[in-house]
Amino acid sequence: MARIFFRDANLIDGINPPKPDSTVVVENERITAVGANASAPQPAARDIVFELGGRSLMPGMNQCHFHAGYININSLMDIELKFPPTYLALAAAKNAELLLRSGFTGAVGAGSPHNVDVALKDAIRDGLIQGPRLVACGHDIVTTGGPIDVNPDFWKLGAEGLCHVCDGPDEFRKAIRQEIKQGADIIKLYVTGGHGFEMRADEVPMTFEEIQAAAQAAHERGRMVRGHVVSRPAILDCLRAKMDLLDHADAMDDECIDLMVKQGTWVTPSLYFSWKTLEFMRKRMSPQRIAQEERWLEQGYRAVEKANKAGVKLIIGDDFGTSWMPHGDYADELEFYVRFAGASPLDVIRWATYNGAGLFNLPDRTCTIQEGRIADLLVVNGDPSRDIGVLRDRSKLDAIMKGGQFIESHLTPVTASVKAA
């Protein structure tokens, strides 16, 4: 089989500073050589060669808080009740392809209404549709009256499409086992309110024993748990229970950050949603409320900055799919952290690539450009290590490769005669 050569690349490997004048060789699904142009292997006549002329070559990105089945949501009830599951599945397929074509070759579900992630993952694996590698999330887990248990009881509706309503460790264990039986790789717990919910962050809707039972039940069967968590005591409970991934963690302080680093906990700050929501609500809020939200956001930026410096495994991903933050603008989030949270472009590239890769249970896919790794790659017409905003422009993505296969390519290989010259 012909090898694919990317020559004269500005190599952004996911960990190190960029290396100009680099060559990367792909054979079947893997990267087989990485080095300076001068020392790289030479292509044979049948190989395919792309001269990148200094364009950037970087790993495919991971969106690690993905709701494929969220469409144009204005309220919590829209998630479950607005569309039939069949329609949600079709929309989820479209969103998955859009995410892939935006440069994200991996996605981790963060709660999937009607369990749409599992079917989506299988359909992508079977080649039925195009989409990123997906870590499928199941239904949400919440306690009675918790942040997403909002349908009034007199409606007699329940909320089975969206969540399990559980109370006590035994019910948590059972819900996790049911989700695993239905194909979930990761299961989400709504540990606190806050961060977009009516319920305040400092109420205690879930006990430590419940969180611990859920985490144990998932880990016993090799699956992961993630939690929507905002307040400091609840963050510490999640960390003590060895939760794998914390969503938001707005109130993380030094003690939380220390434990996150020690335990290798992933954290998705997902602050872009809060910022977008504030922009959307500005005209509808009182000046006092706006000032309060701005203070909250500022605290979040500083917490993220501190966590980044301390070496927390921060990852990218947010609540796209609301009416004010539609699917498609995924890379806006990266630029947002550079603008507000003291991160460098290379920091957020690392969050989007290397940091998220460990969630995929694919040891050869580290989302770094190294020999032997799976070839999930992007060719970018620009230098995202200087201007991260270039990733927001899909027309600058000259090629998207997943597992050594081009999903999209606007590159022209050099001809054999040019190669010979």
The gap from C-alpha 308 to its chain's centroid, in whole angstroms, comes to 17
Which residues fall within 8 angstroms of residue 38, CB to CB, at 6 or more apart?
Answer: 21
CB of 223 to Zn ion, least distance (A): 19
What gap in Å lies between CA 173 and CA 163, rounded to an integer?
14
Nearer to Zn ion, 227 or 403 (CB): 227
Closest CA to 63 of 303, 297, 320, 291: 320
- Of 80-88, 258-266, 312-320, 340-348, the window that binds Zn ion (rule: CB under 5 A) is 312-320
- Of 103-111, 141-149, 252-260, 278-286, the window that binds Zn ion (rule: CB under 5 A) is 103-111
- Of 125-133, 198-206, 314-322, 332-340, the window that binds Zn ion (rule: CB under 5 A) is 314-322
Strands 245-248 and 224-229: parallel
- Of 107-115, 116-124, 174-182, 322-330, the window that binds Zn ion (rule: CB under 5 A) is 107-115
The answer to whether residue 61 forms part of the interface with Zn ion (CB under 5 A) is no
Q: How many CA atoms lie within 13 A of 10 on its CB side?
A: 14
Instruction: Number of residues interacting with Zn ion: please give it, by CB under 5 A.
Output: 2
The answer to whether residue 189 forms part of the interface with Zn ion (CB under 5 A) is no
Give the residue, chosen from 110, 116, 213, 215, that forms a contact with Zn ion under the rule CB under 5 A: 110
Specify whether the CB–CB gap between 241 and 221 falls below 8 A: no
Nearer to Zn ion, 110 or 165 (CB): 110
CB of 388 to Zn ion, least distance (A): 23
CB of 298 to Zn ion, least distance (A): 22
Give the residue, chosen from 117, 149, 319, 333, that forms a contact with Zn ion under the rule CB under 5 A: 319
Four-CA torsion 323, 329, 334, 337, nearest 10 degrees: -30
Nearer to Zn ion, 14 or 356 (CB): 356
CB of 343 to Zn ion, least distance (A): 21
The answer to whether residue 137 forms part of the interface with Zn ion (CB under 5 A) is no
- Of 71-79, 163-171, 315-323, 393-401, the window that binds Zn ion (rule: CB under 5 A) is 315-323
Nearer to Zn ion, 85 or 196 (CB): 196
Specify whether the CB–CB gap between 324 and 276 falls below 8 A: yes
Tokens of 91: 């929309």
Nearer to Zn ion, 93 or 110 (CB): 110
CB of 70 to Zn ion, least distance (A): 8
Nearer to Zn ion, 268 or 385 (CB): 268
CB of 69 to Zn ion, least distance (A): 11
CB of 154 to Zn ion, least distance (A): 28
- Of 48-56, 123-131, 177-185, 317-325, the window that binds Zn ion (rule: CB under 5 A) is 317-325
> Which residues contact Zn ion (rule: CB under 5 A)?
110, 319
